[in-house]
Structure 1
Amino acid sequence: MKKKRIMSIVLAAAMAVSIAGCGSSSESTSNGENTQAEGENSKAPEGATTVEVWTEDRHDLEYVEKMVDQYNQNNKDGIFINLTVITEDYKNMLALAYNGGTAPDVVGANSLPLNTFADTGILMPLNDYIDSDETFQKVNEPYEHAYEGENTRNGNIYFVYSGMRSGVRVEYNKNILSECGYTEIPSKLEDYIDMAKDITKKGEGKYYGIGFTSASSFERLLEMCAQVSGIYYYDYVNGKYDFSGYKDIVELGRRFISEDIAYPDQQGVDNMRALFAEGQFALWSNASQEASVFTNQIPITEFDWGVAEVPSLTGEIKGALQTTLSKAYGIVSTSEHKDEAWKVIQYFQSEEFLKGYLESGYCLPISSYMDGVIDKTKIGRMADFSLLDYESVYPKPPVINLTGDDYRVVLWNAVMGYVDTDEAIKDLNTRYNEALEADVASGSTKRLVISDYDPLHPNDGTITYLDK
């Protein structure tokens, strides 16, 4: 029988949950308390090598801890995985641990920027391990999914992604659309806005056409409408930031607010999800995580809901829709158990581990091999978010030391009518490029140029880094 206890853990002013294959809660608790489970398998057997693994992922903890427990009981490699979930300030925790000589062996690398964790030597390249492991290559297709600036730098692969989150989709209330005379989502942004306006009018206060969250509002619809219209904030050909293309998107988006189309409040994401689930508005937009949210977390039971592609300016697809890469692991360069650490990564990214993970709907498969292995009848509504032909990964623009609000905040302020669109764009072009020039001059970043850049296939071009 396993038991649980609640304890407060303070480590470099951040909170962590240590798990060794035991039944811990997947949610962090409040007021500095965390759940730490102790059980029969919480200690390494005599003679085993303990591999310390840190991650910031909590949404998949139920599955991961079950598989860790299974590995700890059954592996023949003499390895014991000790998994720690960092609930706050993950990147700084890792950097502090590395500098203090207490870093783990393996780290979840989903969100780790290369300039901080690879260029500085904290993470080590995995090429030699990958090249000697044909099974790993078959299952994960690491070289097909080596993304410059994301997990790869100058041919060195620092971590390999197992999955991805889809780009943004439109989730819609089929009942409301049908009641208002609509059967599909328009492919043109102006028509989409007109439909939302008509729904709000016909709703007569019972429901609205669309709802927006207060959290990164621009990113969840209008920025993605811009992407599929061939508009992006970094000019890869000329190696500079350019927000000029967003003007038409912002001006159209203003209609949602100025014409009282949108639900008259912008709350946190979960609150707005709940309002959508209650039928308070017809249109919502977010990525594939909504499959689980509207099935388990905030289940929709009162109406049928559909999933559609985001509209573009003209109704044509002229650019790639950005996906979010997920579930990757790296080895810390100071690890004294690098070979054992690689065996742990082999397990986390094995066909056995990934099949159950993907079929549980935690993310979409990134490799064509795993896409062909999983039973798609088990993934539920995640199937509605299957990747589109024009979804891709964009090469990461230069990391800069920006002063002031980022572009998503500024452009949404323009949508809300708080600032003039032209002034907002001018401000962004000035601040972003001044920061880029200063950082290139200081040597803290390099200018990224792709002379043969194709907006529909952004990751296919020839990448050059310039130091001036």
Structure 2
Amino acid sequence: MGKKIGYTGFIVLLMLALAACSSTDKGGGASPDVPASKNEAKDKGDKVKLTFWSVDRTDADYTREQIAKFEADNPGIEIDYVVKTEEYNQAIDLAFASAQSPDLFRVKENTIQTFYKKGYLEPLDDYVSSEFKSRFTPLKDLNLFDGKMYSFPNYGYTMRLVYNVDLFEKAGINKPPSTLQEMVETAKKLTAVGKADGTYGFALNFKNPASAFDRSARAIAELNGYGGYGFDFKTGRFDVSGFKPIVEAFHQMYNDGSTLPGMESLDIDPLRAQFAEGKIGMYISFSSEPSVYKNQFPAKINWAAAQVPTFDGTVRGASGFLGGQWLSISKESKHKEEAAKFLNFMYGDQILLDYHEKGFAFSMVSSVLSKAKQADIPGIEGFAPTKYDGAWPVQPTVAVQGEKYQDAFFKYMIQGGDLDKIIADLNKRYNEALDKAIASGELDVKPDPSFDPKNLQEMYVK
């Protein structure tokens, strides 16, 4: 009896946590975050009520408009649209644990593998036509698992060097740097002309080293042909030595006094606010920046974006085009046919075209990208996909013991030390964690001797 009561209490607490962990955004007003029991789904005159969860805020108004159109054309289906802005992954876990999962939900490149392994996702092959499937590129471990599709792409994000055009002109620099050495020299020149006004050549959001390196060093490494998270797909082993010249360049800019003072405690939004005020010469980030400087932090400067620098000006790989998935259907949904009808609607040509042309992000669907017009947002042209943007394979995730590579490189950047020794230690610890995961059956990793990062080029733009 005691065990039974304990289990019941656990479920009650779990449901309370689920209700409290996020916010709801539906239509013009709030509704309960946890949907009604599936036994009550057919309410309001036998309507099927589908729940749709997303983590995306930028497209919320547009999505509500499309839901209204779908409901008008399908009066027997109602969509409960929920935008969760905090702890989305935890909310999904809690929803499945309490048998209250949404019928459809947003998946991303850093969550779809985990959701698939946990059994949250319904394979979509039987719910879409062959013509539908032919429009999309299957991407192993990004939307394709064991030969079945669990989501389809819509849009993705490119990464670029963002720079202050006004400051470049003041320093007499007529183009953004194309090599790491040029980036170091440019940062020094920008600082020389701007320091008196509190302006410095370079910055990153190093309050979170992982975020800072993943939005900067990763893109540079990938363009040079190295895995952006330190994994070598040819050998099937971790090797972070490809980051060495990048970290050395960051270290040199820091030592030169070319970086914004205090960036060690800077988060991304405060960094953007400083850039919008003209206090930063360069930084590296995602293609979400144009909308930030149009809406969130209106830029008081002229700015532009360019391809991140390479080691020596030669491109040997492709900068990661992040995306490849969008919507999925819950394995636990009791209304999969209706959910599939809504999913097919959302993946319609016009909606996918609107996502690109309205500037939510760049389409990852070739047929859409080939006919889409550029969004009318200042600066977005610099982020437009080129032949050097491509989707990398997904690297294995391991539970490494001790310091992670981003933290170790950040420490070197501000303190110096023996970088070769640091890299050797990181490779040893990451591969020990990899071997342990393989031995336990948690991972199945094999080398791919034929892997060539140049083949990732021209995936979306010919």
Mapped contact 2:320–2:389 kept (Cα < 8 A): yes
Q: Find the partner of 1:447 among 442, 445, 459.
A: 445
2:261 aligns with 264
2:7 aligns with none
1:324 aligns with 322
Q: Find the partner of 1:129 among 124, 127, 130.
A: 127
Paired residue type of 2:382: D
Q: Distance in 2 between matches of 1:70 and 1:179?
A: 51
Q: Distance in 2 between matches of 1:456 and 1:14?
A: 47
1:89 aligns with 87
Mapped contact 1:392–1:459 kept (Cα < 8 A): yes
Q: What is the CA distance between 1:115 and its match in structure 2?
A: 4.4
Q: Distance in 2 between matches of 1:452 and 1:423?
A: 30
Mapped contact 1:397–1:448 kept (Cα < 8 A): no
Q: Find the partner of 2:162 among 163, 171, 192.
A: 171
2:410 aligns with 412
Q: What is the CA distance between 1:290 and its match in structure 2?
A: 0.4
The alignment partner of 2:304 has SS state of: strand
Paired residue type of 2:200: Y
Q: Find the partner of 2:100 among 99, 102, 105.
A: 102
Q: Distance in 1 between matches of 2:122 and 2:458?
A: 25
> How do residues 284-303 of structure 1 correspond to structure 2 at under 5 angstroms?
284-301=283-300, 303=301
Mapped contact 2:22–2:91 kept (Cα < 8 A): no
Q: What is the CA distance between 1:380 and its match in structure 2?
A: 4.7
Paired residue type of 1:434: E
Distance 1:307 1:459, change over 3 A: closer
Q: Find the partner of 1:423 among 409, 421, 424.
A: 421
1:466 aligns with none
Q: What is the CA distance between 1:248 and its match in structure 2?
A: 2.2
Q: Find the partner of 1:16 among 19, 22, 36.
A: 22
Mapped contact 1:20–1:81 kept (Cα < 8 A): no
Mapped contact 2:400–2:429 kept (Cα < 8 A): yes
Question: Structure 1 stretches of 5 or more lacking a match?
Answer: 1-8, 26-32, 37-42, 462-468
Q: Distance in 1 between matches of 2:330 and 2:241?
A: 41
The alignment partner of 1:352 has SS state of: helix
Q: Distance in 2 between matches of 1:196 and 1:459?
A: 29
For residues 62-103 of structure 1, give each alpha carbon's deviation from its aligned partner in whole angstroms, at most 9, with x where no partner exists. Answer: 22223223322x123621111122233222322232232211
The alignment partner of 2:201 has SS state of: strand
1:402 aligns with 400
TM-score w.r.t. length of structure 2? 0.86
The two structures, once aligned, show a CA RMSD in angstroms of 2.7
For residues 367-386 of structure 1, give each alpha carbon's deviation from its aligned partner in whole angstroms, at most 9, with x where no partner exists. Answer: 12222443325455323311
Q: Distance in 2 between matches of 1:448 and 1:86?
A: 37
Q: Distance in 2 between matches of 1:104 and 1:241?
A: 37
2:281 aligns with 282
Q: Distance in 1 between matches of 2:416 and 2:66?
A: 50
For residues 397-449 of structure 1, give each alpha carbon's deviation from its aligned partner in whole angstroms, at most 9, with x where no partner exists. Answer: 12322333432222222222265422321222122111111111011111142
> How do residues 46-85 of structure 1 correspond to structure 2 at under 5 angstroms?
46-72=45-71, 74-76=72-74, 78-85=76-83
2:312 aligns with 314
Distance 1:345 1:11, change over 3 A: farther
Mapped contact 1:19–1:82 kept (Cα < 8 A): no
**Greater helix fraction, Structure 1 or Structure 2:** 2
Mapped contact 1:108–1:329 kept (Cα < 8 A): yes
2:152 aligns with 160
Mapped contact 2:217–2:243 kept (Cα < 8 A): no
For residues 98-140 of structure 1, give each alpha carbon's deviation from its aligned partner in whole angstroms, at most 9, with x where no partner exists. Answer: 232211211111256344322332212112223x252x346xx
Paired residue type of 1:22: G
Q: Are 2:355 and 1:357 equivalent residues in the alignment?
A: yes
Q: Distance in 1 between matches of 2:16 and 2:23?
A: 10
The alignment partner of 1:282 has SS state of: strand
Q: Distance in 1 between matches of 2:29 and 2:69?
A: 12
Q: What is the CA distance between 1:220 and its match in structure 2?
A: 2.8
Q: Distance in 1 between matches of 2:113 and 2:133?
A: 26
1:231 aligns with 226
Q: What is the CA distance between 1:20 and its match in structure 2?
A: 3.9
Q: Find the partner of 1:433 among 397, 419, 431.
A: 431
Mapped contact 1:14–1:87 kept (Cα < 8 A): no
2:10 aligns with none
Mapped contact 1:393–1:458 kept (Cα < 8 A): yes
Mapped contact 1:331–1:341 kept (Cα < 8 A): yes
The alignment partner of 2:213 has SS state of: coil
> How do residues 210-229 of structure 1 correspond to structure 2 at under 5 angstroms?
210-214=202-206, 215=208, 216-229=211-224
Q: Are 2:141 and 1:149 equivalent residues in the alignment?
A: yes
Q: Distance in 2 between matches of 1:24 and 1:371?
A: 36
Distance 1:107 1:448, change over 3 A: farther
The alignment partner of 1:190 has SS state of: helix
Paired residue type of 1:412: F
Q: What is the CA distance between 1:179 and its match in structure 2?
A: 1.3
Paired residue type of 1:217: A
Mapped contact 1:165–1:326 kept (Cα < 8 A): no
1:40 aligns with none
Paired residue type of 1:260: G
Q: What is the CA distance between 1:23 and its match in structure 2?
A: 5.7
**Greater strand fraction, Structure 1 or Structure 2:** 1
Q: Percent identity, aligned pairs only?
A: 28
Q: Find the partner of 2:387 among 376, 385, 389.
A: 389
Paired residue type of 1:282: G
Paired residue type of 2:235: N
Q: Distance in 2 between matches of 1:115 and 1:300?
A: 37
Paired residue type of 2:399: N
Q: Distance in 2 between matches of 1:95 and 1:57?
A: 18
Task: Name the count of aligned residue pairs.
Answer: 430
The alignment partner of 2:156 has SS state of: strand
Q: Distance in 1 between matches of 2:358 and 2:76?
A: 29
TM-score w.r.t. length of structure 1? 0.85
1:39 aligns with none
Mapped contact 1:113–1:150 kept (Cα < 8 A): no
Question: Structure 2 stretches of 5 or more lacking a match?
Answer: 1-14, 36-41
1:3 aligns with none
1:345 aligns with 343
Paired residue type of 2:122: M
2:11 aligns with none
Distance 1:261 1:405, change over 3 A: same
2:175 aligns with 184
